[in-house]
């Protein structure tokens, strides 16, 4: 992304000619020379004769000695040639960064290298887990596992076969070297599960894994395995736990990839009981899926008992619920999904802080998968996978998703997707939904349901349409999609403001010139049906302004030219036909600026720029494409994004209560994004209001003016009526 920095200018590199339709690339990126291929390994066999290990070692040493001699003789010549080749490669590369400091150039290369190292690992069920991808990054640097383990006063265990990988750790079978009992569980068991987590993993940034803290609180309670010993040995933190049996994924896979209604109902009842106790202790799991539910060991009294494992997503990613009325105002880490794509809640896809409703929505998808054998959003691939899955989840109604499922599953899903962020689930009523599917004899049930209180007894069934007090429940995500104007109003001291809408390209200059003659400058622009909306007022604080109508989204050369003149982008808009209106101003507080155009919302780029001290200051869309402008010294101390396929009313109100205010907004035909920021200097009157209207809100604007509320930003796109 092109950037302009104040201060000492550096020489401009050669700019290769570029077409306007290639603006979706991030102009900050530089391509480093490709590394030379690694030498091929020494063969162990020549012809039909097999070399011994000693012969291979001798040949290898001889080859290394020859290489050293040759390298020493030709050192100067090789070094000179290498420099020439690198210079030639750099000249061939198109210079896409303008006026950038050497320090930034180096950091960009490091970031590019880190980006190449990142990889996503698919789980056994085809889902994608963010925590597994993170674990994979560190695997190459981990030390070998010890052959024997003794931590925290435990007996000595010999490491046996590998059981699997979860979170940032790996789990092995540990066999007691001496002593022990024939019991299958407890500290004296001959076989235990050993979970290893490397000290450099993300979960151990501040010492022992966060999972230890969770197990200290929950370990041994209903549905959570017991940790008997824990400690550090060498480079690893180790937990000694009870051995468990197969996961629900294993059971599903071995039973024809489908489960009976009674089996799924028993799983639902017991899972809800486990989650109720976990939530009651102040924890949200964050990754509910079939692989994380395990049964007890076969042929033991616990073979029908259900356990929930993998409690360590690391660094507080298992969100502490605490007092749910004073919830977390953490920065949304866009693009870093917590959980597994297939089973994650829609709120998790959109980067929102996890709460109890998210575990229950993931449980609903888990139950439907176990019964049907497939979910409609399976099969998506690529970097855009999470976006496509989220979009499909939002578009799939409970009726469609549960058309081949028992009615209780549909009722359960409808309840949990309509829960509010801080709403406490009525676990007893949710459990009662499944009572008609479970047999009366507990001994014959496929899953032990002793954890659920009074399962099978007659209870009042939960009415989906009503709360306990008989008032209708607001349908949060079942509204009718609509395309509307979204307008945002801020409290200001009395000032002059003017608006124009349905403005054709030919009449735009006329309105702008008339406004400038009256002492007004453009504060906001938007587009609807390839016509422009224009807001001009006397309170912008800008000293001068330029704008350009372009058939391209966005016109890079013109923007770079204005950056050289110390103009900064203050507002942008895009039309469905791909054209754009860019307004650039002098007198802003910005010191550096970048923009990006992409085919989907650029959450990863925004997250990266946040870490570099930038904040979003303008947004626009052209058709399905997004354009986002970020600036340094924007006057914000914190910033979040509310991104939704419907209007994110709940998220906006919760952010307002925490001191955030809407500072930018944009929408496509199927998605709306609102940027909420915390200003460094609090305004005297923090009042902010929003409206959604089918027509341009001309009459509403005049009503707001009477209350000293002025248009701050607006867009046209997807909402919910």
| pLDDT value for 432 | 93
pLDDT at 56: 56
Q: Report the number of secondary-structure helices (H) and strands (E) in the chain.
A: 18, 26
Question: How confident is the model at residue 231, as a pLDDT?
Answer: 92
The 10 Å Cβ neighbour count of residue 357 is: 23
Averaged over 444-464, what is the pLDDT? 58
Tell me if 293 sits within 8 A of 271, measured CB to CB: yes
Q: Is 195 annotated as a binding residue?
A: yes
| Nearest of 367, 327, 360 to residue 345 by alpha carbon | 360
> Per-residue DSSP letters for 470-502?
SPBPP-SS-SPEEEEEEEEEEE-SS--EEEEEE
Where residue 499 falls among pLDDT bands split at 50, 70, 90?
A: very high
pLDDT at 688 over 90: yes
Instruction: Give the residue with greater pLDDT, 142 vs 208.
Output: 208
The mean per-residue pLDDT over the stretch 12-30 comes to 41
Cis peptide before 554 (omega within 30 of 0): yes
Q: How buried is residue 43: exposed, middle or buried, by Cβ count under 10 Å (0-12/13-18/19+)?
A: exposed
As a whole number of angstroms, the distance between CA 346 and CA 676 comes to: 20
In this structure, of 158-162, 177-181, 479-483, 665-669, the range with the lowest mean pLDDT score is 479-483
Q: 318 pairs with which residues across the strands?
A: none
For residue 176, give every residue at least 6 positions away whose Cβ sits within 8 Å of its Cβ, in sequence order, or none.
155, 156, 157, 158, 189, 190, 191, 192
Catalytic positions: 287
* pLDDT recorded at residue 66: 63
| CB-based contact 595:629 (threshold 8 Å) | yes
Comparing 61 with 27, the larger pLDDT belongs to 61
Phi-psi map region of 233: left, alpha, beta (phi>0 left; psi -120 to 50 alpha): beta
CB 589 within 8 A of CB 680: no
- Give the model's pLDDT for residue 643: 82
Q: Is the dihedral of CA 85, 88, 94, 99 positive or negative?
A: positive
Residue 67's pLDDT is: 58
- What structural domains does the chain harbor? 148-241 (3.30.200.20), 246-456 (1.10.510.10), 481-720 (no CATH)
Alpha carbons 330 and 640: distance in angstroms, whole number: 9
Nearest to 16 by CA among 91, 107, 121: 91
Q: pLDDT digits over 546-602, tens only?
A: 999 999 999 999 999 999 999 999 999 999 999 999 999 999 999 999 999 998 888
Q: Which of 389-398, 463-472, 598-607 has the lowest mean pLDDT?
A: 463-472
Q: E-strand spans in 552-635?
A: 568-574, 580-586, 592-598, 614-622, 625-632
d(CA 298, CA 589): 67
Work out the average pLDDT over 405-426. 92
**Joined tokens for residue 402:** 């549960």
What percent of the chain has a predicted confidence (pLDDT) above 70? 70
pLDDT at 69: 55
Is the model's pLDDT at 114 over the cut of 50?
no
CA of residue 162 relative to chain centroid, distance: 30
With 80 as the cut, is the pLDDT of residue 477 above it?
Answer: no
- The residues facing 674 across adjacent strands are 642, 665
Measured CA to CA, the distance from residue 349 to residue 127 in angstroms comes to 14
Closest CA to 444 of 456, 461, 430, 458: 456
Q: Please write the tens of the pLDDT for every residue from 314-325.
A: 333 333 333 333
Mean pLDDT for the stretch of residues 429-438: 92
pLDDT interval class at 302 (50, 70, 90): confident
The residue with greater pLDDT, 64 or 462, is 64
User: What pairs with residue 677 in β-bridges?
Assistant: 639, 661
Name which residue leads in pLDDT, 60 or 19: 60
Pull the structure tokens for residue 474: 């607001």
User: What is the band of 354 on the pLDDT scale with cuts at 50, 70, 90?
Assistant: confident
Considering Cα of 320, then 325, then 330, then 336, what sign does the dihedral take?
positive
Q: Are 666 and 486 in contact (CB under 8 A)?
A: no
Residue-wise pLDDT for 29-68, tens only, equals 333 333 444 444 433 333 334 445 555 566 666 666 665 5
């Amino acid at each position: 992304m092109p950037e302009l920095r104040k201060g000492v200018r550096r020489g401009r590199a050669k700019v290769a000619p570029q077409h306007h339709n290639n603006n979706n690339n991030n102009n900050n990126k530089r391509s480093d020379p490709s590394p030379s291929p690694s030498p091929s390994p020494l063969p162990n066999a020549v012809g039909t004769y097999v070399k011994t290990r000693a012969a291979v070692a001798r040949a290898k040493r001889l080859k290394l000695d020859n290489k050293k001699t040759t390298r020493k003789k030709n050192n100067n010549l090789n070094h000179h040639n290498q420099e020439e080749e690198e210079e030639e490669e750099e000249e061939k590369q198109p210079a896409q960064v303008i006026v950038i400091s050497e320090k930034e150039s180096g950091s960009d290369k490091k970031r590019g290298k880190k980006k190449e190292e990142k990889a996503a690992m698919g789980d056994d069920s085809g889902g994608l887990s963010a925590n597994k991808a993170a674990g994979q990054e560190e695997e190459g640097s981990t030390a070998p596992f010890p052959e024997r383990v003794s931590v925290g006063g435990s007996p000595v265990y010999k490491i046996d076969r590998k059981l699997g990988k979860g979170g940032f750790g790996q789990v092995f079978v540990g066999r007691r070297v001496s002593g022990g009992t024939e019991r299958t569980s407890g500290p004296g068991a001959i076989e235990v599960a050993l979970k290893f987590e490397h000290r450099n993993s993300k979960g151990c940034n501040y010492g022992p894994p966060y999972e230890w803290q969770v197990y200290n609180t929950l370990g041994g309670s209903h549905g959570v395995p017991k940790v008997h010993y824990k400690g550090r040995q060498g480079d690893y933190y180790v937990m000694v736990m009870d051995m468990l049996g197969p996961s629900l994924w294993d059971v599903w896979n071995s039973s024809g990839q489908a489960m009976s209604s009674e089996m799924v109902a028993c799983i639902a009842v017991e899972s809800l009981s486990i989650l109720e106790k976990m939530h009651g202790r102040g924890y949200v799991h964050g990754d509910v899926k079939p692989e994380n539910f395990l049964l007890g060991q076969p042929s033991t009294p616990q073979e029908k008992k259900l356990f929930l494992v993998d409690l360590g997503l690391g660094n507080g990613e298992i969100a502490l619920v605490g007092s749910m009325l004073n919830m977390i105002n953490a920065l949304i880490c866009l693009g870093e999904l917590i959980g597994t794509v297939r089973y994650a809640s829609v709120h998790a896809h959109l980067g929102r802080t996890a709460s109890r409703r998210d575990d229950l929505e993931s449980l609903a998808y888990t139950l439907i998968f176990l019964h049907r054998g497939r979910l409609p959003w399976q099969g998506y691939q690529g970097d855009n996978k999470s976006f496509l899955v989220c979009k499909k989840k939002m578009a799939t109604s409970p009726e469609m998703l549960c058309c081949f499922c028992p009615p209780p599953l549909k009722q359960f899903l409808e309840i949990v997707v309509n829960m509010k962020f801080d709403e406490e689930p009525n676990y007893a009523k949710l459990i009662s939904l499944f009572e008609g599917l479970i047999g009366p004899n507990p001994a014959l049930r496929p899953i032990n349901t002793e954890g659920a209180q009074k399962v099978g007894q007659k209870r009042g069934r939960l009415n989906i349409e009503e709360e306990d007090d008989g008032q209708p429940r607001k349908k949060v995500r079942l509204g009718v999609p609509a395309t509307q104007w979204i307008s945002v109003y801020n409290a200001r001291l009395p000032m002059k403001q003017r608006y124009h809408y349905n403005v054709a390209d030919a009449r735009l200059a006329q309105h702008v010139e008339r406004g400038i003659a009256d002492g007004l400058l453009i504060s906001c622009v938007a587009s609807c049906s390839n016509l422009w909306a224009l807001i001009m007022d006397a309170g912008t604080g800008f000293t001068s302004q330029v704008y350009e109508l372009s058939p391209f989204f966005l016109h890079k050369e013109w923007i770079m030219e204005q950056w050289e003149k110390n103009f900064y982008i203050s507002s942008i808009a895009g039309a469905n036909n791909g054209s754009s209106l860019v307004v650039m101003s002098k007198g802003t507080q910005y010191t550096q600026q970048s923009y990006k155009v992409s085919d989907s919302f650029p959450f990863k780029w925004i997250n990266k720029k946040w870490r570099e001290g930038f904040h979003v200051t303008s947004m626009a869309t052209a058709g399905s494409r997004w354009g986002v402008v970020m600036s340094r010294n924007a006057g914000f101390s914190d910033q979040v994004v509310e991104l939704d396929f419907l209007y994110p009313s709940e998220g906006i109100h919760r952010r307002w209560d925490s001191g955030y205010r809407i500072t930018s907004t944009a929408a496509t035909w199927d998605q709306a994004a609102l940027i909420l920021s915390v200003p460094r200097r609090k305004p005297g009157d923090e009042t902010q209001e929003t409206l959604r209207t089918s027509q341009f809100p001309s009459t509403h604007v005049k009503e707001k003016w009477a209350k000293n509320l002025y248009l701050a930003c607006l867009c046209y796109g997807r909402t919910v009526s």
